[in-house]
A and B are shown apart, each in its own frame.
Chain A
Amino acid sequence: TQLLEQSPQFLSIQEGENLTVYCNSSSVFSSLQWYRQEPGEGPVLLVTVVTGGEVKKLKRLTFQFGDARKDSSLHITAAQPGDTGLYLCAGDNYGQNFVFGPGTRLSVLP
């Protein structure tokens, strides 16, 4: 059974601080996705990473896929209250199944 772990589970920081959240597995994935979900809404896709070692930037968000395609990180620079939400990572097992992590709940205080 493939599992994705996310850390930390909860994170509360002040506006302007930097943070990194992690997504780890012992399994290899063909691609990995990061989503952000706000209360009462469906998850919204932030990025898909496919190549080992790949780095993608989305404004203040930087996503990295591990060289072995087993893990990923999300770094946010100068966090803002609008970044608050549940961050979910999900791994695609070569089209066979799709695995979600439990999420990191981020709170950015003004």
Chain B
Amino acid sequence: SQTIHQWPATLVQPVGSPLSLECTVEGTSNPNLYWYRQAAGRGLQLLFYSVGIGQISSEVPQNLSASRPQDRQFILSSKKLLLSDSGFYLCAWSALAASGDTQYFGPGTRLTVL
């Protein structure tokens, strides 16, 4: 079966510090991978998605970036965090199937920028 991992689970960082969040998927090959941010009690905002190694599409211009160095690894980074970067970051994967393109989510990372 497929599983998706995210770490760290929680993170508190000062403004201006760098960021690296990691997401890995097990049990599937060549998944589509996604990074979302969720403000408190709100819906999901798509940040980046990737259909393959080294292929990144950005949905929202910001000081964040994403990379996919391996097939099942997706990294979200920033060189200098802003207060507005605080939120709940979710990684998801999907694979096209007869039942549609369903996304499966990781447990999330709670980021607080002080």
Contacts and interface: CB of A to CB of B under 8 A. Distances in A.
B100 interface: yes
B107 interface: yes
Interface stretch (A12-20, A70-78, A87-95): A87-95
User: Which size bracket describes the interface of B in this complex?
Assistant: 20 to 34
Contacts of A90: 103
A108 B103 CA distance: 27
B42 A103 contact: yes
A11 interface: no
A102 interface: yes
User: Which size bracket describes the interface of A in this complex?
Assistant: 20 to 34
Nearest to A29: B100
B44 interface: yes
Contact of B108 (A41, A86, A92, A100): A41
Contact of B102 (A42, A48, A101): A48
B41 A105 contact: yes
A44 interface: yes
A81 to B, nearest CB: 19
Contacts of B103: 33, 45, 90, 98
B27 interface: no
A43 B101 contact: no
A31 B102 contact: yes
A43 B110 contact: no
A88 B102 contact: no
10 contacts: A30-B100, A30-B101, A42-B92, A42-B107, A45-B102, A90-B103, A92-B100, A98-B103, A102-B43, A103-B41
Q: 9 smallest A-B Cβ distances: which pairs?
A: A31-B100, A42-B105, A102-B43, A100-B44, A92-B101, A42-B108, A43-B105, A48-B102, A103-B43
